Structure 1
Amino acid sequence: MSSQSSTIYTKQFDSTDNDRPVSQILVYASGNISTAQDLPDIWHWQLHLLPSADPRAQDSDNPPTRTIVLDMIPAVSPTGTLCILSKAPTELPLHLPTSASLAFAPLTAITVRHIVDLFLSKGMDRYTYNERYTGCVFWVRTAVERLQDAGWVEGGAAEKFDAFYKEQAALRPGNFEEPFGRGEFY
């Protein structure tokens, strides 16, 4: 994984996180960030990989609760960049009233590297947002579908995501597009 690629940003990723087992995959939406052009209230969607406790936790360089964020952002015009970030929980606004999340437990032992390698092999780093710069939700939904197809999360996970999205859109209609914006993989 190179931080020099024009489609991947890893400068804030700690490579020691590559081999950490993932205990939970969290779909996360937040009103604190919006990538949508002229739509400041539309929420941004990301994947958070919550690793299992690190046996080296006593080492301050390997905090046991660090989260790996997979975030597709429109970095160059509508062309997306996959940001892979290692974040401390204090850096993540996970429990704000302007956020929503849906958790999936892995069905098998997988690491951060397994998930990143799967996504790269499926071209998940090559994405263009639509003309309104919305489409992060479509990227995340596709990511859930890829994890489901690999047998790493429950069957029906993509449909569970769709139901979650509709539920959230009904609760907060000004923050969710119906239907959700779609970009294109290239």
Structure 2
Amino acid sequence: MATVYDRAFKPIDRNQAVAKIVVTASGAAGNVVATPNGSGGFVPNIYHWRLYLVLLPNPLLPTRTRSVLLDIIPANPPTGCLVISSKEMPASTASGKVELELPPAGSPTVQQIVDLFKNKGMDRYMFDATGSGCLWWVIVGVRHLEEAGLVEAGASRALQVFHHEHAQAHPERHPLPVRQGRFYW
């Protein structure tokens, strides 16, 4: 089974420099995890987390891409699939969202980040029994980026603080403890 879906990833975007990495969580239709409501039904209320690699504008390249999305989705639940897609918008257009911008260290390219994610097994992920775990996937991904020196030091801590603040304000969208899927080889 394929663990990466990159049909919407334009080859021209591979060597683009990343201006910033945006951690995004939203509850827009199609990006909400249904969770048990305690009475046998499900309520869609937990935010879905993903990463946008916002591209540094390059007038020499004929592309309309402004970001590349890295998103883990349950393609064959609970097995995830890493979706890599070029986007014409710099970040999520969801109306109900929270975002954290992480400055890169140096000028990493999209391909460097994609290669890191593949080498670290970020494309081999299984969601937990409730179908959750995208935040854990993002947390691990940001740790890998920080360890590789592709984001500024302290990015993992910034994400932890960011999530904690939002979990306090909206516990129904940001449940604690963080639901963890698992990586496999």
TM (normalized to structure 2)? 0.90
Residue 29 of structure 1 aligns to a residue whose secondary structure is strand
For residues 2-48 of structure 1, the C-alpha deviation after alignment (integer angstroms, 9 at most, x for no partner) is xxx61000111111100000010010000111134534100000000
Shift of 1:184: 0.0
For residues 145-167 of structure 1, the C-alpha deviation after alignment (integer angstroms, 9 at most, x for no partner) is 00000111122211111110010
Structure with greater proportional strand content? 2
Alignment partner of 1:23 is 2:19: yes
The answer on whether the counterparts of 2:33 and 2:45 sit within 8 Å (CA) in structure 1 is no
Identity fraction in percent: 38
For residues 60-97 of structure 1, the C-alpha deviation after alignment (integer angstroms, 9 at most, x for no partner) is xx12x521000000110100000001111188315x2x
Where has structure 1 moved over 2 Å in runs of 4 or more? Answer: 35-39
Alignment partner of 1:74 is 2:74: yes
Residue 41 of structure 1 aligns to a residue whose secondary structure is strand
The answer on whether the counterparts of 1:35 and 1:74 sit within 8 Å (CA) in structure 2 is no
Mapped to 1, the partners of 2:90 and 2:13 lie a distance apart of 17
Mapped to 2, the partners of 1:127 and 1:159 lie a distance apart of 23
Mapped to 2, the partners of 1:23 and 1:91 lie a distance apart of 12
In structure 1, give the amino acid aligned to 2:3. Answer: T
Aligned pair partner of 1:47 in 51, 54, 58? 51
RMSD value, Cα: 1.6
Aligned residue for 2:123? 125
In structure 2, give the amino acid aligned to 1:105. Answer: P
Mapped to 2, the partners of 1:152 and 1:22 lie a distance apart of 10
1:59-98 equivalences under 5 Å are: 59=62, 62-63=63-64, 66-89=66-89, 92-93=92-93, 96=95, 98=96
The answer on whether the counterparts of 2:67 and 2:91 sit within 8 Å (CA) in structure 1 is no
The answer on whether the counterparts of 1:129 and 1:135 sit within 8 Å (CA) in structure 2 is yes
Evaluate the alpha carbon distance shift between residue 76 and residue 173 of structure 1 in structure 2; reply closer, same or farther with a 3 A threshold.
same
Mapped to 2, the partners of 1:51 and 1:90 lie a distance apart of 8
In structure 1, give the amino acid aligned to 2:92. Answer: L
